[in-house]
Amino acid sequence: MVEDFLEKKIPKTPGIYKFYNIDNEVIYIGKSKNLNNRIRSYFNKSKNQSTKTSKMVKEIINISYTVSESEHDALLLENNLIKENKPKYNILLRDDKSYPYIAISKERFPRVYTTRKVNLKKEKVFGPYTNIKSMRNVLEIIKKIYKIRTCNLKLSKENVDKKLFKVCLDYHIGNCLGPCEKKQEEKSYLKDIKQIQDLLKGNHGKLIKNLELKMKTYSKKLEFEEAQNLKEKIQLLKVYNNKSTVVNPKFKNIEVYGIIDDEKYIYVNYMKINNGIMLGGETIKLRKKIDLNESIIKYLIFHFKNKYKTYDYNIISNYKLDNFIGSVKVFYPKTGDKKKLIDLSIKNALFYKEHYYNEKKERKTKKYNHIIKLFEELKLKRLPKIIECFDISNTQGKYKTASMVRFKNGYPLKREYRKYRIRSVDGINDYKSIEEVVERRYNRLISEKKDMPDLIVIDGGKGQLSSATKILKKLKVYDKLNIIGIAKKLEEIYFPEDSLPILINKKSESLKLLQAIRNEAHRFAISYHKKLRNKMLIESSLDNIKGIGEKSKFKLIKEYGSIQKIDINDKTKLKKILGSIKKVEILERFLKKNKN
């Protein structure tokens, strides 16, 4: 599975990646600004790999990834996913340490401070911040522009009225306006807090304009030092971006659905988010039978809600829905954080679509190259675009069946598979059985004027091949196509009228293609043989029961497949099948009497 994944085109964008073991457990989560380079680096044979990394790589069975807008977002997402999944190979970010937030307390005369442990009941938070310097810069801006208290005093109206507190040094040096002694009104203080919230949300356009007006005022008054201070603050505000597109603690119980479609398929990217943490996500593809509409979108949403048990989660989608069940709200955002989440979800869906078509194209090219190599290695008359393979199956000459599988450009055409019951052969005679099915198959193609295959493969050695060749000559099509036999033991390739077989390199992709086709023919023959054998066994056994008619017998065969699988203890089910409790009792007596 890892080899298949690495053959795909991995995006060279920021994002996170997950490694899974054989039990489908996440064993490692990482982030990178270039997913393609980072993921492939683990599988490049390098002497510099640590023991831990080498051991981890040996356990990797599958890989998945999620793209993000920036490396900053990838780092945040990696942090949250590691805490959620606790992969055994992650050491960094695995403990309880979190990235810091800027918090505004929910109290009278709120305080502004940093925290790593979020308590949304007691504070409103902004962040998290992966760049500590950036966070300190914005705190410095707040401190310089606004006179917000830094003390931990409980400034309730009752305490302030009782004059329990005195102004501190911050008041005397101009960093606080003294709300503890009613030197600043609560209304004025809250106005500053509102502006700080706007600043932390990124809505600093108005603030910058106000600062620019103040700066010009200072300049006109020739107060250049104050004007320079404001200029520096404005520059800090302009270069600062404090928001994350992926992780935001205000997002609770939200599902994101990014849906796109083309002529053939619908692609849906799903993200489950709670408290700013992505708890799960995947992208699926569905064959498109009708145009995408609201009913289909609701069906898709129900599918994911059932799978992830998120019945009460609100929905963000790029398709507008009029209503939904219960109290579930549907958002169709055009701006803001929710829109950024939708954009990211659609981006993941587009990557999935691109990978699907690239993978399909690569597979076709790869298979076609194998066909060309087969043509060259075996020196065939025609390029084997259409290959048909025959196999015989029987049990000591009984229940004789055959299969024919058809492949086009290296891919199975399952609708054109055929199964046969051997009619003209008594006992074990694979040669005659091959003659019968080959004649039946190609007599029909000739009579219906359908195209013949480019290559016929017979599962067996020279004897089976000779039998099939004899029929093709009889039908006068032998010179128009290729026919070979493939023997199982040494994987020898036999040609008609050639006593010595050809041995293809065991690592050859053309041999692997032949083996895959032969194995599919064998699987199809065995499955039909088992079905026929079980049916005949149960039929012959049930024929001995007096009181069980043909219709009842057919129903038992259809339901259980074999007589050994009949559950005599489930009398309710048997009564429903047979129609009466009397027939159930007859069957029960027979089965107890004939346990073997």
- Residues 551-587 have pLDDT tens digits of 776 677 667 766 667 777 777 888 887 878 888 887 7
Answer for the pair 316, 331: CB distance below 8 angstroms, yes or no: yes
| Strand ranges in 83-238 using DSSP code E only, listed in sequence order | 101-105, 112-115, 123-126
What is the domain count for the chain? Answer: 5
Q: pTM surpassing 0.75?
A: no
336-378 and 509-542 are packed helices; what angle lies between their axes, rounded to 10 degrees? 100
Last residue of a domain, one of 458, 485, 507: 507
Shared-domain flag, residues 115 and 230: yes
Shared-domain flag, residues 223 and 119: yes
Looking at residue 421, its pLDDT comes to 83
Shared-domain flag, residues 78 and 128: no
530 in a domain, yes or no? no
516 in a domain, yes or no? no
Shared-domain flag, residues 134 and 193: yes
Looking at residue 93, its pLDDT comes to 44
The CATH number of residue 404's host domain is 3.30.420.340
Looking at residue 246, its pLDDT comes to 47
423 in a domain, yes or no? yes
523 in a domain, yes or no? no
Shared-domain flag, residues 277 and 345: yes
Shared-domain flag, residues 225 and 260: no
Task: Name which of 517, 485, 516, 507 is nearest 378 in CA terms.
Answer: 485
The CATH number of residue 275's host domain is 3.30.420
Looking at residue 438, its pLDDT comes to 92
Q: How many residues does the chain have?
A: 596
Q: What is the dihedral of CA 403, 404, 410, 411, to 10 degrees?
A: -70
User: Which backbone phi and psi does 483 adopt, to 5 degrees?
Assistant: -145, 135
113 in a domain, yes or no? yes
At 266-299, the pLDDT tens digits run 999 998 887 666 666 788 888 887 788 888 888 8
Helix intervals (H) in 379-461 = 430-447
Last residue of a domain, one of 214, 239, 264: 239
Looking at residue 443, its pLDDT comes to 92
SS3 449: coil
Q: What is the residue range of 310's domain?
A: 254-354
Distances (CA, A) of 273 to 81, 257, 391, 538: 11, 11, 53, 54
Distance CA 330, CA 320 (A): 8
The CATH number of residue 567's host domain is 1.10.150
Shared-domain flag, residues 111 and 231: yes
**Residue 279: Cβ-neighbour burial (10 angstroms; 0-12, 13-18, 19+):** middle
529 in a domain, yes or no? no
**What value, to the nearest 5°, has the Cα angle with vertex 406 and ends 404 and 408?**
170
Shared-domain flag, residues 151 and 231: yes
Mean of the per-residue pLDDT values of the chain: 81
How does residue 405 score in pLDDT terms, banded at 50, 70 and 90? very high
Quick one: tokens of 436?
């019968």
Shared-domain flag, residues 111 and 234: yes
Answer for the pair 562, 534: CB distance below 8 angstroms, yes or no: yes
Shared-domain flag, residues 216 and 263: no
Shared-domain flag, residues 407 and 493: yes
Shared-domain flag, residues 398 and 490: yes
- Mean pLDDT of the 186-202 span: 83
364 in a domain, yes or no? no
Last residue of a domain, one of 85, 116, 137: 85
